[in-house]
Amino acid sequence: MATGLFNICNHDVYGSPPTFDYGPNCNINLEQHECGRELEAYLRKEFPELASPPAHCLVEAFLNCRGSKCHFNAVTGSGWNPVQSKHALDFICDLVTNTKVTPGEVFIITPYRASVEYIERQRKEPEYSAISAMAPATTIDDFQGRQGDIIILVTATTATSISSRIFDVHHLSVMLSRQISGLVIFGDLEILSEFGRQKSKATQAQANGKYVIAARRKKSQGLKDASLFCNVLDTLMVRRRVATLPVPKSHKKMVLLPPTRRPRGSV
């Protein structure tokens, strides 16, 4: 993994000291991390509001998808997010068209199986022919134990439709540690407003320069503690590694086909 890409997972998820030593194979100037350097150059060109990574580091980026909504299969409970999926596919298509990054170096992961199925259906559209050679999208569970050069994480989650998986420490650690040279996260920044920093006298606290997150627990949805994911978002905001995307022009024309029926509990 390139230097810098494990910092957030190590500190905000595992709670380990913010600095540690990367091995010699993590040097971002190595040929094996060329796709990561290409990705960073592309991100800075397309989103000038993003801050440069620290010297000799590559870092994650979060792309906030305005107007996105998660839809759920009534049978399986599995969800998919058309807007976030479209943004991710458009991003990858433009990335491989305008840089040296190849489709084989990019991998999409997402919490839900229905999200995987939706993304794979959309990839069959002619507009995405440039990424036809890309590996199929996969769930976080199915990608565990694997790595990819550039990981595109589609959270399929919004402030009003939360996946408990992005709040679970085990799933979150997988989401933030599968990349070798780059990680781009597509999601909804409003999660911070809904579950994030509560600055009342009862909840305000300062720890290592960060606010302790007061997670709103919703037992009916089976949510885990939201603090870890909110810490990640907060860190990315502080480091100015967040950019906001507009609602896709074709959003209103999107066809929401129900994903394949699966046994309940298969998400």
If you write DSSP's letter for every residue of 140-185 in order, what string do you get? Answer: HHHHTT--EEEEEEE---BTTB--GGGGSHHHHHHHTT-EEEEEEE
In-domain check, residue 89: yes
State the average pLDDT over residues 224-235.
Answer: 79
Q: What is the pLDDT of residues 66-100, one digit of tens each?
A: 988 888 888 787 889 999 999 999 999 999 999 99
- Contact yes or no for 130/97 (Cβ under 8 A): yes
DSSP state of 50: S
State the average pLDDT over residues 114-143.
Answer: 95
In-domain check, residue 38: yes
Query: Total domain count for the chain?
Result: 1
The mean-pLDDT minimum among 37-46, 48-57, 130-139, 222-231 falls in 222-231
pLDDT at residue 198, rounded to an integer: 40
pLDDT band for position 264 (50/70/90)? very low
- For the entire predicted model, the pTM comes to 0.84
Neighbouring C-beta atoms of residue 132, cutoff 10 Å = 9
pLDDT band for position 12 (50/70/90)? confident
pLDDT at residue 154, rounded to an integer: 96
- Round the CA-based radius of gyration of the chain to a whole number and report it: 18
Which CATH number goes with the domain that contains 151? 3.40.50
Q: How many residues are recorded in the chain?
A: 267
- Contact yes or no for 192/235 (Cβ under 8 A): no
What tokens appear for 15 in the block? 């709670």
- Provide the angle, in degrees to the nearest 10, between the axes of the packed helices 34-46 and 82-98: 110
- Amino acid of residue 163: S
Higher local confidence (pLDDT), 73 or 111: 111
Q: What is the pLDDT of residues 47-59, one digit of tens each?
A: 999 999 999 999 9
Does residue 201 carry a pLDDT above 50?
Answer: no
Range of the domain at 112: 7-245
pLDDT at residue 227, rounded to an integer: 76
